[in-house]
Amino acid sequence: MVSSTDTNLVFNPKLSVATQYTVRAYSTLLTNCDDTVTANVYRVEIVPSETNICWKTNYAEFKLTPESYGGSGGFSWTNTPVGLSNVVVSGDGRTFSFNPRESVPGAYELKAWPNNLPTCFGIATAKVIHIEITPPVTNVCGKSAVPVTLNLTPESYWNSLPVTWGGTNGLGISGSGDNFLTFVPSNSTPTSYVVTAWAGTLTNCAAAATVKVYRVDITPSETNICWKTNYAEFKLTPESYGAAGGFSWTNAPVGLSNVVVSGDGRTFSFNPRESVPGAYELKAWPNDLPTCFGTATAKVIHIEITPPVTNVCGKSAVPVTLNLTPEATGTACLSHGAARMVLVFQVQAITS
């Protein structure tokens, strides 16, 4: 909007197109008697005016709008606070770019102005969003009832955007917030999880952490095995989980013969016939988390009578005793706590 009188001309810069004007004044009585002046209408507007930028990208840029005008002096830019990496201002001063991946997460005010009129500036806000989960790898035992918490790192910045946690189906979640997720291992399905977190709608800027819930249960948990058999085995339950590291086994005390652990570590077998009679504790654990073990008890029962052949005279009144051999199972297997094995002797008359 322009208005004028014989002595002045008034215009509104805000309503004017930003550019350089030549203003001429002359007498209507003598048109060649004039004077000219230059009026520069500067304008600086930045796009986008505000945006969230994922730290995983290598390039981000802000531009001056086509309507922005800085005259022949060009433009200058600054960012506050410091922390943006690889800042580049284009030769014409109309583009400001930086590397989000190498920048410090946070909010930055960008400011641009024409060098000929620094007080006529435009501003924009760049928010470098960085979500990172700690610890990056969590190994827990599925028998534990102690809650486990994943947190966002102190360096994370999400600009008060709501944080969404994903990949948690099967975890026994007991609590969550923008900066934490808590679960109970004993309420979780044993397996490997990739837990993710992202801010707002920036799903492409999600952080990830690995959670492995281990579990080892052996079946049968306790059994009596006759020494006359050549093969006995214990297996891990289908729910047992050891990840890629597999499983290891031990037995205590020593005395089991021909012990074989299957290639996948899920089966433990031995030969009772060649084993020392007694009770054995079997122990299995995931190699990645040895403290998360399962136990079972194998009892090798051995009954043998001595002497194997007894010849006596039927006229004798002297008692004759048959005994179990010292190699028989003995107290270790015949008696366990309050329960005691009962031996039954059967005598059969053989006539010819």
Residue 220: asked if its preceding bond is cis (omega within 30°), the reply is yes
The verdict on pTM exceeding 0.85 is no
Using DSSP, state whether 73 is helix, strand or coil.
Answer: helix
**Residues 6 or more apart in contact with residue 252 via CB below 8 angstroms:** 280, 281, 283
Q: Where are the alpha helices (DSSP H) in the chain?
A: 331-334
Topology, domain 46-129 = Immunoglobulin-like (2.60.40)
One pLDDT digit (tens) per residue for the chain, 352 residues: 676 666 788 878 788 788 888 888 888 888 788 888 888 889 999 999 999 999 999 999 999 999 999 999 999 999 999 999 999 999 999 999 999 999 999 999 999 999 999 999 999 999 999 999 999 999 999 999 999 999 999 999 999 999 999 999 999 999 999 999 999 999 999 999 999 999 999 999 999 999 999 999 999 999 999 999 999 999 999 999 999 999 999 999 999 999 999 999 999 999 999 999 999 999 999 999 999 999 999 999 998 888 888 888 888 888 888 888 777 764 434 443 334 444 554 555 555 4
Give CA separation, 112 vs 25, 67, 225, 264, in Å: 34, 14, 85, 64
- Using CA atoms, how far apart are residues 21 and 52, in angstroms rounded to an integer? 38
Both structure tokens of 310:
């007894």
Q: What is the pLDDT of residue 331?
A: 41
Q: Which CATH number fits domain 215-352: 3.40.190.10, 2.60.40.10, 3.40.980.10, 3.40.50.300?
A: 2.60.40.10
Q: What is the pLDDT of residue 6?
A: 64
Q: Taking the CA of residue 159 as centre, how many other CA atoms within 13 Å lie in the half-sphere pointing to its CB?
A: 21
Both structure tokens of 58:
């290598």
Closest-CA residue to 189 (of 210, 212, 209): 212
Burial class (CB in 10 A: 0-12, 13-18, 19+), 322: exposed
Q: Which CATH number fits domain 134-154+163-214: 2.30.30, 2.40.70, 2.60.40, 1.10.260?
A: 2.60.40
- Using CA atoms, how far apart are residues 289 and 213, in angstroms rounded to an integer? 10
Q: What is the pLDDT of residue 330?
A: 45
Residues of each domain in the chain carrying CATH 2.60.40.10? 46-129, 215-352
